[in-house]
Amino acid sequence: MTSNALALPAPGAGALRRHPLVERYAPILTIVLALIAIWYVAALLMNLSLVRDGFEREEAPYTVSDLIEGTMSAERPLLPAPHQVIAAFADSVFGYAPTAPRSLVYHSAVTLSATLLGFALGALLGIALALMIVHSRVLEKSLLPWIICSQMVPILALAPIFVVVLGAMGLQGLLPKSIISAYLCFFPITIGMVKGFTAPDPMQLDLMRTWSATSRQVLAKLRWPSAVPYLFASLKVAISISLIGAIVAELPTGGEAGIGARLLAGSYYGQTIQIWSALLAAAILASGLIAVVDLAEKIVGLRMGARP
């Protein structure tokens, strides 16, 4: 942060505090630094007994600084230190060809493809269900309880069943994972779009009626555009859920590839650093996906006359 601050043009401390860049990033950086500090302390405390046991087993003499050093560089620590995670992450991202099975880029790409397909399927399903619910009260009464029930069953229990049943039907690889992902992410889209399709002002609906517009015209020219803000709000929730769905789906599929498979393999072999770097990859993927939806929302918003 100091180097950052020095790079700023304003020399005085007071001026520095009011600089827009400082105002914008200082709070975030403070939190990040505090978290990293807490993380280091936690790593030290949690790994301490592990390292001490190691020294005592070998009956080697050790100092306090040996202990501290040990907690920061253990091979299979309870909690790896941040720099270990980042080093392992950087190694598995840049150390291998992107198609190599040890590359995190490869695993992320596998998970990403399942996420995107699942997200697309879930969005289509979610919008279709919302249309049906808005279209008829009978469908609302018959569909909505089932839609809500579907989200009450834990996906961890359902995922293996999906995989087995779909496998028996000859579906393997990408599609079962995407279906599990879609199953999780359609829900917020349905709920959001039901709200969105019913968002138009009664006056706007009356206007369409005075022009004797068909219900299809009302949908295309009024209900659909009114629902767009709701669509993006629910897409942002749905895209991170669909990533979680894809990762969860990779756990029972045996896991040859994907972030979920990396997590599973890591926990099998006690490779905590591998687990944490896979988690880091998932977090980066999720932020990237949300950023893309955000960008799409901004572009659409500008085209639809949103106030800048």
Partner 1 sequence: MTLQLPKSLKPNDPGVTLRGDGRESFAARNQPVHMSNEAAAAVESVSTPRRLAVDVRNVSLTFETSDGKVDALANVSLEIAEGEFVSFIGPSGCGKTTMLRLIADLQQPTSGTLLVNGMSAEQARLARRYGYVFQAPALFPWRTIEKNLKLPLEVMGFSDSEQNSRAARYLALVNLTGFERKFPWQLSGGMQQRVSIARALSFDPALLLMDEPFGALDEIVRDHLNEQLLQLWDKTGKTVLFVTHSIPEAVFLSTKIVVMSPRPGRIIDVIDCDFARDRTLEIRETPEFLKIAQRVRTGLRAGHSYDE
CA dihedral 230, 232, 233, 237 (to 10 degrees): 130
Q: Report the C-alpha gap between 199 and 215 in whole angstroms.
A: 15
Q: Which is nearer to partner 1, 38 or 207 (CB)?
A: 207
- Residue 304 engages partner 1 in binding (rule: CB under 8 A): yes
Q: What is the DSSP string of 208-235?
A: HHHTT--HHHHIIIIIHHHHHHHHHHHH
Q: Which is nearer to partner 1, 54 or 225 (CB)?
A: 225
Selected from 155, 228, 233, 237, the binder of partner 1 by CB under 8 A is 228
**Least distance from C-beta 297 to partner 1, angstroms?**
13
Block residue for tokens 């629910």? 234
Q: Report if residue 151 touches partner 1, rule: CB under 8 A.
A: no
Determine contact, residues 39/81, Cβ cutoff 8 Å. yes
Packing angle between helix 64-73 and helix 20-57, nearest 10 degrees?
Answer: 110
213 binds partner 1 (CB under 8 A): yes
What per-residue string of b and e applies to 193-214 under the rule 16 or more CB within 10 Å gives b?
A: bbebbebbeeeeeeebeeeebe
- Shortest approach of partner 1 to residue 225 CB, angstroms? 5
Whichever of 172 and 215 has its CB closer to partner 1, that residue is 215
Cβ closer to partner 1: 99 or 212? Answer: 212
Contact track, partner 1, 172-211, x by CB under 8 A: -----------------------------x-xx-xxxxxx
**What's the token pair of residue 33?**
């630094």
Q: Applying CB under 8 A, which of residues 21, 29, 225, 233 lies at the interface with partner 1? A: 225
Q: Which residue ranges make up the site for partner 1 (CB under 8 A)?
A: 201, 203-204, 206-213, 217, 221-222, 225, 228, 304-305, 307
